[in-house]
Amino acid sequence: MRQAGRYLEEYRKIRAKHSLLEICRTPEIAVEVTLQPVRRFGFDAAILFSDLLVPLEPLGIPFSFAPGEGPSIEAPIRSRRDVEGLRKVVPEESLAFTLEAIRLLRRELAVPLIGFAGAPFTLASYAIEGGPSKSFEKTKALMYEDPETWHLLLSKLASTVRDYLTAQIEAGVAAVQLFDSWVGALAPEDYRNMVLPHSRAILEPLSKLGVPRIHFGTGTAGILREMREAGGDVIGLDWRIDLDRGWEELGEGVAVQGNLDPHLLFAPRDVLCERVDSILRQAAGRPGHVFNLGHGILPGTPVESVQILVDRVHRHRPPSR
């Protein structure tokens, strides 16, 4: 999950001077913001500070963030023609700022760096809805009414993301995470037919590049087997399923990431610690658990709670280095 954010004073200071997209597109600032939480808390890994939507602009889908609002796509994708007009993205050109930030971070960081990108469904949902959505009405309408256009859009997004993550690996990230944040809105049948092949088209070729691939979504308790089929060495779980039950559903031979409800960082210390312990107990004896929140850290999170969490996890399992 994103580690930096408004809950950190040092981040708010930078945000007072720079927009979210300025941070993402200016390697030195992206580096500083990536480092902030690692310095403060002693995390075992860093995740590149960026935004899921960054590849949309070079694809030909410009967007902006209004202050205090979610993203807003200038001209949402609605037709075959819109999809046909999308451009091919060469990450080394139009996303060079990300790759430069990665190269700078490799020099600065003492812990592994995780690269990331949005998955085709989640990117498509923003591109089609025009911004955040609760029910994904327009996205599903396009998917049901015009499956050919849908598949063309998702395959273009998939090849963009595959190239983007490949370039991130070449620039030096130690792992990659594919964020399909909103895929839990789908029925399993739609996931299998309309999404899985496109996520697989990203994850499969990356398997040869020698870094772990984390495949994350939320609200996915009903499609975990399908997410595994799409690929990934690690499957991310949100908090809506017990970690051990999620692992049982996924089967052998795959690691899991998760799965603390980020709201527990607002709970009293003993409640928080008890839940951290419970997750670690469920993971005990199994190989391949990445302790993490089940979704992004909330803006009002008390900083002390994050430190309590990190210390509690470290008490159980010494850092692997």
Contact residues for a copy of itself (CB under 8 A)? 134-137, 140-141, 144-145, 184-190, 219, 221-223, 239-242, 245-246, 261, 263-264, 266-268, 271, 275, 278, 298, 300
Number of neighbours of residue 184 by Cβ within 10 angstroms: 17
Distance of closest approach, residue 250 Cβ to a copy of itself, in angstroms: 13
Q: Which is nearer to a copy of itself, 36 or 305 (CB)?
A: 305
Report the phi/psi class of residue 226: left, alpha or beta, with left for phi > 0 and alpha for psi in -120 to 50. alpha
Q: Which is nearer to a copy of itself, 223 or 310 (CB)?
A: 223
Q: Which is nearer to a copy of itself, 245 or 315 (CB)?
A: 245
Q: Which pairs count as long-range contacts for 273-279, CB under 8 Å and 24+ apart, including other chains?
A: 273/308, 273/312, 276/309, 276/312, 276/313, 276/316, 277/312, 277/316, 279/243
Q: Which residues are catalytic?
A: 2, 6, 15, 51, 126
Q: Which is nearer to a copy of itself, 44 or 249 (CB)?
A: 249
Distance of closest approach, residue 26 Cβ to a copy of itself, in angstroms: 30
Q: Which is nearer to a copy of itself, 144 or 209 (CB)?
A: 144
3-state secondary structure (DSSP) of residue 252: coil
Of 208, 210, 224, residue with least CA distance to 257? 224
Distance CA 255, CA 247 (A): 8
Distance of closest approach, residue 204 Cβ to a copy of itself, in angstroms: 24
Of 105, 126, 108, residue with least CA distance to 51? 126
Cα within 13 Å of Cα(246), Cβ side: 31
Distance of closest approach, residue 283 Cβ to a copy of itself, in angstroms: 14
Distance of closest approach, residue 271 Cβ to a copy of itself, in angstroms: 5
Contact 293, 260 (CB under 8 A): yes
How distant, in Å, are the alpha carbons of 36, 44, 280, 290 from that of 101? 14, 19, 33, 24
